[in-house]
Structure 1
């Protein structure tokens, strides 16, 4: 049988001002119709370059060697007209980041219709019918065709991207990080959808991600890339449960399985953590919410309870994970705890005192309770050096002491050593992990008691994820900094948190020790979150309740 896709000794070299950069070297892959192949690796490993090579989507600066065969035809030798016809109709791409891949000023129905209009002779009535059919296939109501992207949730936008990819009935779909930044339940829905489409329509699927646990539940085979090469490939379950290459093992360890005792307080990081030792569970409460309610009015005038009667404590020397789906109220609760959103009723307390309402009181409070934002690229001013970014807080709060010493100490605490090497660098000169450390250093420069971290590793590679989680644990152990970590990742909660608070529709439905909540859940929603976790070896029956 002729493979649907075959890569033969594929190599890609980018021509840059600093010389040639070899991004992909000697890659051999095959995919049969109806098969799902996972390609795993960190950013820069070459996996997205391989995907872009299939339909010649690489920039002009790229030099390609080897062969790409699509259903036996050499893609590199195709004339432009033939290649244009093959795109969408023979092979299509679900691009990474549905938030940014859709045109914000066009209704989604029109965007789904565009490839049909360009690549078929269908009438307008047939196109409208096909759009409704595609929306139904991805479990979206037909009425969503008239919606703009900003009116859809992240999961709905990702479903629209999948509908676009299927618009012209391609035999091959390449999904590039299709579940990044989605919460576990929406992720499970998208993975189930892709699996059903492969089974029902017999398409071939190439699934690209850095999360091996996602591939385990989706793919029959996995290829792991590292520095432009495939370092390991084979049966999905075997690759994950018995990795032969150290990079594969590191990727698997970066996403610990809930219930794995060896990964508690032990993120995948090369640097050992201090011994946990005995901790006093009755440390004084630093930050608390009492019957906290935040209500908004929607466009129809109805009241929406974003936060509804929340009771939560964060004690000195502990990390609390606040988990839940997108839209559950986590971010609104965090903003209210930070004094950035006024509550409708109830109160926030810091060290036993109610949150101040005066400007000067709030200024002092915000020095003690600092926010670590999700995306370090957006959090840092691209024109400010590392020194300027970290020094901004001490300047605003007029802290005593030498400014340079404060900046250097904060960078050292955030494990950017030696700090002097980073002071004059701009954000684009740093890796993703280094940028996140600069954001954390900016918070540490104010000597806070509590860090509120909003999805602190969601945009980071697997290995860097472990380093940042290890840093948060060291800050707790060595400096006594408490943490409220907002996440939809239950593996992260298991990895570093002491207690878990599960939020659903504005309410905390379950709060308790990590082992209690994640291993013996009482609420149906917590059980649903756990059941949605992708895993190579977990027995989901124990969460069925």
Structure 2
């Protein structure tokens, strides 16, 4: 008996506006999984990967029409009512969603949320549930002490691991993981994927892994399906699909994947560390909490971003990268230390509006960066209205110029965020940052949630804007492959301190610190598939 069998699955979304055609999100998809199998779904943003997962879970949005059949362990689930479908969630079907920011209850403690599945399904007594919560958190790479904390007290990577703990705590027969490691650094990503592998091996559970990281797919799946425009383009053994793809689309995905062990595919500017410093931070310290509960986020951090330069910041979740970004943006104040822009120290009295104009952010999650009730054109010009950098009569012309500059059709100005893909929204996040005509963009994990082809497009866009606008970049990422593609100089952070820095190529090819080497060694890589592997018959 197969674990999962999907036949002729189609999902259509009703048009949002009069006169529009329905959206065919998934079209006649067939999918088959056995117990203990690891099946990967890859494809660009909007290819239908997450829609398939939601259809399987019964989490279709309003206005969706679903046809076809879905069977789990031989039983039809697509015909079940909502109550019967909920009985499957957590026990038979475990789900790891992509965005921890919108998936955790901000008013509930972490331990309560992780144990909720056991309580709802009345699994075990109170003491047994408490032990299960501790074990699930440990399996997901977290200290059980986080049970008493609230989501806002954890980093993005830690919140993602909480979602994984919630998915595996009841040991479900099938785990649907939708980009479960896109927000995680390489070492934590390896730990989490190792945990999922162990669970599959120990319990015979199946793993349906949705990912845009082909390195993860290569290392962690047995079978692979590539999707485009809701249709299956290619399927088969992972080693065959990635090692010898038969379709141009799959070959495009493979070619777009950044690699830490290869020269950059873009022409980087000559080293500019000798250029005058645009932004300079010195001796930054920042702690949160008091007494024994205090956490040091920044510990004597000194950093310089030269005019026209691109500086990368890499490190594990909780290493202080985002705190550094917030301090440099003026969104948080250090306990001690200084930040200077063009030699002028930033204080409560100095900087203000002009500082905010010259230094603009591009945040990690494009979906939570935009007001869902506003049209995207309105949101893109928020800095212009706030900083009063252009008269109202010029707004429409400025919008068209910005949309064109980031490679989008100006006709999209009237759309709402939910009507656009993640890649389109990330381009708009960049357009919004550019609207104030800044000198420095602070990009905090700006491509971590994007598939490889869209990621490559965004990196190309940022590289082009650097030349066109003479922009400086501070690029914060957990993906070392991206550093080589965009930044000529990088720093490595660990527990709030900069432990190593230098030209990116040297840092990746010959790291001087054990910690940096551990980050590089943990990277999922696209293997060079051998002829013997390619010819090996499917099991």
TM above 0.5, one fold? yes
When residues 35 and 514 of structure 1 are mapped into structure 2, their CA distance, relative to the original with a 3 A threshold, is same
When residues 410 and 381 of structure 1 are mapped into structure 2, their CA distance, relative to the original with a 3 A threshold, is farther
Paired position in structure 1 for 2:314: 323
Paired position in structure 2 for 1:115: 117
Structure 1 residue 439 corresponds to structure 2 residue 439: no
Deviation at 1:294, TM superposition (A): 1.9
Alpha-carbon separation, structure 2, partners of 1:67 and 1:59: 18
Deviation at 1:194, TM superposition (A): 0.4
Report the 3-state secondary structure (helix = DSSP H, G, I; strand = E; otherwise coil) of the residue aligned with 1:45. Answer: coil
When residues 81 and 360 of structure 1 are mapped into structure 2, their CA distance, relative to the original with a 3 A threshold, is closer
When residues 412 and 183 of structure 1 are mapped into structure 2, their CA distance, relative to the original with a 3 A threshold, is same
Contact persistence 2:44–2:454 (CA under 8 A): no
Deviations 1:111-136 (A, max 9, x none): 34433344356444544454455445
Paired position in structure 1 for 2:283: 292
Alpha-carbon separation, structure 2, partners of 1:449 and 1:109: 44
When residues 439 and 80 of structure 1 are mapped into structure 2, their CA distance, relative to the original with a 3 A threshold, is closer
Contact persistence 1:8–1:27 (CA under 8 A): yes
Aligned residue among 232, 235, 243 for 1:233: 235
Paired position in structure 2 for 1:75: 77
Alpha-carbon separation, structure 2, partners of 1:108 and 1:305: 21
Structure 1 residue 363 corresponds to structure 2 residue 356: no
Deviation at 1:74, TM superposition (A): 2.7
Deviation at 1:226, TM superposition (A): 1.2
When residues 130 and 486 of structure 1 are mapped into structure 2, their CA distance, relative to the original with a 3 A threshold, is closer
Paired position in structure 2 for 1:350: 341
Contact persistence 2:212–2:450 (CA under 8 A): no
Q: Report which stretch shifted further, 404-413 or 458-467.
A: 404-413
Q: Report which stretch shifted further, 70-79 or 511-520.
A: 70-79
Alpha-carbon separation, structure 1, partners of 2:418 and 2:75: 40
Alpha-carbon separation, structure 1, partners of 2:81 and 2:415: 45
Structure 1 residue 375 corresponds to structure 2 residue 365: yes
Deviations 1:129-158 (A, max 9, x none): 544554454455555544444444444444
When residues 232 and 120 of structure 1 are mapped into structure 2, their CA distance, relative to the original with a 3 A threshold, is same
Contact persistence 2:314–2:479 (CA under 8 A): yes
Report the 3-state secondary structure (helix = DSSP H, G, I; strand = E; otherwise coil) of the residue aligned with 2:524. Answer: coil
Paired position in structure 2 for 1:183: 185
Aligned length: 525
Report the 3-state secondary structure (helix = DSSP H, G, I; strand = E; otherwise coil) of the residue aligned with 2:166. Answer: helix
Deviation at 1:312, TM superposition (A): 2.3
Deviation at 1:190, TM superposition (A): 0.9
Report the 3-state secondary structure (helix = DSSP H, G, I; strand = E; otherwise coil) of the residue aligned with 1:217. Answer: helix
RMSD after superposition: 3.3
TM-score by length of 1: 0.85
Deviation at 1:521, TM superposition (A): 0.8
Aligned residue among 503, 509, 528 for 1:513: 503
Paired position in structure 2 for 1:257: 259
When residues 66 and 484 of structure 1 are mapped into structure 2, their CA distance, relative to the original with a 3 A threshold, is same
When residues 72 and 144 of structure 1 are mapped into structure 2, their CA distance, relative to the original with a 3 A threshold, is same
Deviations 1:228-281 (A, max 9, x none): 1111112223322333223323333443111222x432xxxxxxxxxx487364
Deviations 1:44-97 (A, max 9, x none): 222222223334443574443333222222334557776555443333322332
Alpha-carbon separation, structure 1, partners of 2:202 and 2:116: 24
Q: Report which stretch shifted further, 42-51 or 223-232.
A: 42-51
When residues 85 and 521 of structure 1 are mapped into structure 2, their CA distance, relative to the original with a 3 A threshold, is same
Paired position in structure 2 for 1:503: 493
Structure 1 residue 478 corresponds to structure 2 residue 449: no
Instruction: Name stretches of at least 5 consecutive residues in structure 1 with no aligned partner.
Output: 266-275, 540-545
Where do residues 48-59 of structure 1 align in structure 2 (5 Å cutoff)?
48-59=50-61
Paired position in structure 2 for 1:47: 49
Contact persistence 1:410–1:442 (CA under 8 A): no
Alpha-carbon separation, structure 2, partners of 1:74 and 1:147: 39
Paired position in structure 2 for 1:490: 480
Alpha-carbon separation, structure 2, partners of 1:344 and 1:368: 23
Alpha-carbon separation, structure 2, partners of 1:452 and 1:140: 29
TM-score by length of 2: 0.85
